[in-house]
């Protein structure tokens, strides 16, 4: 036996030992005492589903996802072992709809009468952090912190100036005036239509923020708005203005809980979620559809997040449709769209599934453009008031990088069999004939999109066009326009799915989640190399992410930060 072979065996044995050790630790039963306090950390970006990669499975993937928070809060409010709740809120980098959903479950826990403290222990708390905190019965803050509540702004970044310096010409087209995703490349600031829709979305979210936070703190909206407009506010001022209840350090939080529960027996979310039962006999599928939509299979995006493969989500829908034990399907969408082709592949499976059993869509932070395309034929659509949705439009084009090549001293040459052979060449703009052909494809895709919405929502095509044109709406605005049926979170979508499938309201259901969460051992033993082949090539991944193969896009009109 060579040294290389022996070394490989030693590494394998060490890895197996670590895996077995972790497996035993994870499988060990977690005891929740009869006098416990649930301690939840809410910070950073909150995802809808767990990563399916090797390393996440290896470390046990302790990072909570959205339903971990909501399931734990719902269980804890009626769990006699949980006597109090403490939510430690750090800097947040997630969307307003997810925060709204978590906040609604915090309010529900608050109604149980158990103490709930939202503790702002980070370097200041902005609009998002304070919005969540306002749902607890008490808000505490570190004495030296600041309450960074303030007016709200929506900001977009434009690349046209940089492209000009690089001699790159963006040659993009869109249907219609509000479909402004390509503005990031073609403009240097908001167009009138772009500004109009940004202002409308920011105002909708801001109004909701003022109304909800004021109600949580039991003050009038006008009073809270005055405080917001003078923010940021020091911790001392915040107490005087009744924005927070107490200045305290973490040890004082623990001491307070001890007086309320006769002890400090903390249970983390990671431990508590393993106690949550999913034991109903009747099954409902929750299918997660997250990230940029591409043709092919789903995967993890570089740097975090998800890529939604049309084939993967379609397969999950097909599985749920063909499984007779699953009585209804909830499609949970968190996507700003992507490939029109991949969106239609998923849409087709939604239509087929609806013919067999109820399909209810639950919208998370974003379900726009392609994200709305895959939703439009469901039996019912549920969105949070702050969900960004609709964006019924289409765009496409290319970047002409010939100027950059000339600047760098690079050159290309080609032969072509016809004039249209060069339509997607990155070395020239569209010719007039190519532009006409491309715009015709855009018009055909837009017509298919609006017709699909009209059929699914039982509307006239001309009425869809009036609220389409690429414009995004908040969930509450979309409901007013018939694009959404009800406002609420995943729990409301499940209630509707039960109603549509004839499941009694008081009957517990077993939630079957897709894609299936794999253990480390399952991933280790998989031999389906073809499933990951498309991600082994950097070039292939870049092509997918830049949509080189899919020039027609149904994507959100822009990347927007609202805070």
pLDDT in tens, 50-102: 886 555 555 555 789 999 999 999 999 999 999 999 999 999 999 999 999 99
Write down all domains in the chain, each with its CATH number in brackets. 31-150+231-273 (3.90.226.10), 282-394+467-553 (3.90.226.10)
Across residues 400-410, what is the average pLDDT? Answer: 96
Q: How many CA atoms lie within 13 A of 103 on its CB side?
A: 24
Peptide bond into 174 cis (omega under 30): no
Section 288-303 average pLDDT = 90
Which one, of 55, 121, 59, 127, lies nearest residue 88 by Cα?
121
| Helical pair 66-76 and 490-500, crossing angle rounded to 10 deg | 80
Both tokens of 410, joined, read 């690079």
Strands (E), 60-144: 82-92, 116-120, 125-126, 138-141
The pLDDT of 318-326, averaged and rounded, is 98
Q: Whole-angstrom Cα distance, residue 325 to residue 356?
A: 12
For residue 200, the surrounding DSSP H or E stretch is: helix 192-216
pLDDT range class, residue 545, cuts 50, 70, 90: very low
pLDDT of residue 367: 98
Indicate whether 556 pLDDT > 90: no
Query: What is the C-alpha to C-alpha distance for residues 122 and 55, in angstroms, rounded to an integer?
Result: 29
Query: pLDDT confidence of 289, banded at 50, 70, 90?
Result: very high
Measured distance CA(307)–CA(293) in Å, rounded: 6
Buried-exposed string 263-279: b where 16+ CB fall within 10 A, e elsewhere: ebbebebbbbbebeeee
| Average pLDDT score, the chain | 89
Q: Is the pLDDT of residue 407 over 70?
A: yes
Residue 287, pLDDT > 90, answer: yes
At residue 516, the pLDDT reads 87
Angle at which helices 529-536 and 538-545 cross, to 10°: 80
pLDDT recorded at residue 3: 56
- Residue 532, pLDDT score: 44
pLDDT at 40 over 90: yes
Q: What share of the chain is helix, strand, coil (3-state, %, to 5)?
A: 45, 20, 35
Residue 307 · residue 294 · CB < 8 Å: yes
Q: What percent of the chain has pLDDT over 70?
A: 86
Predicted local confidence at residue 280, as pLDDT: 87
Q: What confidence score (pLDDT) does residue 6 get?
A: 59
Question: What pLDDT does residue 422 have?
Answer: 95
pLDDT band at 363 (very low <50, low <70, confident <90, very high): very high
Q: What's residue 553's pLDDT?
A: 81
What is the arithmetic mean of pLDDT over 299-323? 92
Whether residue 343 has pLDDT greater than 90: yes
Predicted local distance difference test score (pLDDT) of residue 50: 87
Section 546-562 average pLDDT: 63
Sorting pLDDT into bands at 50, 70 and 90, what band is 547? very low
Alpha helices in 355-431 (DSSP H): 370-373, 402-408
Length of the chain: 563
pLDDT tens digit sequence for 204-222: 999 999 999 999 999 999 9
Q: Which of 101, 133, 110 is nearest to 491 (CA)?
A: 101
> Distance between CA atoms of 233 and 219, rounded to whole angstroms?
17
Q: How confident is the model at residue 247 (pLDDT cuts 50, 70, 90)?
A: very high
Task: Please tell me the distance from the alpha carbon of residue 352 to that of residue 322, in angstroms, as a whole number.
Answer: 10
**176, exposed or middle or buried, with CB in 10 Å at 0-12, 13-18, 19+?**
middle
pLDDT at position 26, please?
Answer: 47
pLDDT confidence tier of residue 262, bands split at 50, 70 and 90: confident
Q: Is the pLDDT of residue 108 over 50?
A: yes
Summarize the confidence of residues 133-159 as an average pLDDT: 95
**pLDDT surpasses 80 at 414:** yes
Residue 476 pLDDT more than 50? Answer: yes
- Buried b / exposed e along 420-445 (16+ C-beta atoms within 10 A): eeebebbebebeeebeeebeeebeeb
- Strands, E assignment, 377-508: 380-383, 388-390, 394-400, 472-474, 486-487
What pLDDT was estimated at residue 551? 67
- Strands 306-309 and 299-300 come out as antiparallel
pLDDT (0 to 100) of residue 530: 44
Residue of 530 and 165 predicted with greater confidence: 165
Residue 431 per-residue DSSP state: P
Closest C-alpha among 119, 150, 149 to residue 247: 119
Residue 398 is predicted with a pLDDT of: 94
- Using CA atoms, how far apart are residues 205 and 560, in angstroms rounded to an integer? 13
What is the Cα–Cα distance from 337 to 429, expressed in whole angstroms? 26
Percent of the chain with pLDDT over 90: 78
- 525, pLDDT greater than 70: no
pLDDT at 24: 44
d(CA 290, CA 362): 12
Per-residue pLDDT at 187 exceeds 70: yes
Where do we find the tokens 């290389």? 4
Could you read off the pLDDT of 120-135 as tens digits, one per residue? 988 889 999 999 999 9
């Amino acid at each position: 036996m060579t040294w290389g072979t022996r070394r490989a065996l030693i590494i394998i044995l060490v890895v197996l030992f670590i895996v077995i050790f972790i497996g035993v630790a994870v499988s060990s039963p977690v005891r929740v005492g009869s006098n416990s306090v649930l301690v939840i950390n809410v910070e950073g970006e909150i995802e809808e589903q767990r990563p399916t990669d090797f390393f996440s499975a290896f470390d046990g993937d302790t990072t909570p996802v959205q339903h971990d928070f909501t399931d734990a809060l719902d269980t804890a409010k009626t769990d006699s072992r949980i006597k109090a709740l403490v939510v430690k809120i750090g800097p947040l980098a997630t969307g307003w709809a997810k925060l709204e959903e978590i906040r609604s479950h915090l309010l529900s826990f608050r109604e149980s009468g158990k103490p709930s403290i939202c503790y702002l222990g980070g370097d200041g708390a902005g609009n998002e952090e304070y919005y969540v905190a306002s749902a607890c019965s008490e808000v505490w803050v570190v004495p030296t912190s600041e309450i960074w509540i303030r007016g709200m702004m929506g900001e977009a970044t434009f690349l046209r100036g940089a492209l000009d310096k690089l001699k790159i010409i963006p040659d993009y087209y869109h249907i219609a005036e509000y479909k402004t995703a390509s503005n990031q490349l073609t403009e240097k600031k908001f167009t009138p239509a772009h500004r109009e829709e940004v202002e409308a979305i920011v105002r909708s979210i801001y109004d909701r923020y003022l109304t909800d936070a004021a109600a949580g703190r039991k003050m009038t909206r006008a009073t809270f708005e005055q405080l917001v407009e003078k923010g940021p506010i020091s911790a001392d001022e915040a107490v005087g203005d009744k924005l927070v209840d107490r200045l305290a350090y973490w040890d004082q939080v623990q001491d307070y809980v001890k007086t309320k529960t006769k002890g400090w027996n903390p249970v983390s979310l990671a431990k508590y979620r393993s106690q949550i039962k999913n034991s109903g006999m009747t099954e409902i599928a929750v299918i997660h559809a997250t990230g940029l939509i591409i043709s092919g299979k789903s995967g993890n995006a570089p740097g975090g997040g998800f890529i939604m493969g049309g084939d993967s989500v379609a397969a999950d829908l097909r599985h749920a449709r063909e499984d007779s034990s699953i009585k209804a399907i909830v499609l949970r969408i968190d996507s700003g769209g992507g490939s029109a082709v991949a969106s239609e592949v998923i849409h087709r499976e939604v239509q087929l599934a609806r013919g067999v059993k109820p399909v209810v869509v639950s919208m998370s932070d974003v379900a726009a453009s392609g994200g709305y395309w895959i939703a439009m034929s469901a039996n019912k659509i549920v969105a949070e008031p702050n969900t960004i949705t609709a964006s019924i439009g289409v765009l496409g084009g290319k970047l002409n990088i010939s100027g950059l090549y000339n600047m760098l001293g690079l050159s290309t040459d080609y032969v072509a069999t016809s004039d249209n052979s060069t339509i997607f060449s990155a070395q020239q703009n569209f010719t007039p004939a190519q532009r006409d052909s491309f715009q015709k494809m855009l018009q055909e895709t837009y017509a298919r999109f609006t017709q699909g919405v009209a059929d699914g929502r039982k509307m006239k095509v001309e009425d869809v066009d009036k609220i389409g044109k690429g414009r995004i709406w908040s969930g509450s605005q979309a409901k007013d326009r018939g694009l959404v049926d009800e406002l609420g979170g995943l729990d409301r979508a499940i209630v509707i799915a039960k109603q549509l499938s004839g499941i009694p309201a008081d009957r517990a259901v077993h939630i079957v989640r897709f894609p299936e969460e794999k253990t480390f051992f399952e991933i280790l033993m998989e031999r389906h190399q073809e499933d990951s082949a498309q991600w082994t090539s950097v070039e292939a991944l870049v092509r997918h992410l830049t949509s080189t193969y899919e020039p027609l896009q149904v994507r959100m009109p822009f990347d927007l930060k609202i805070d």
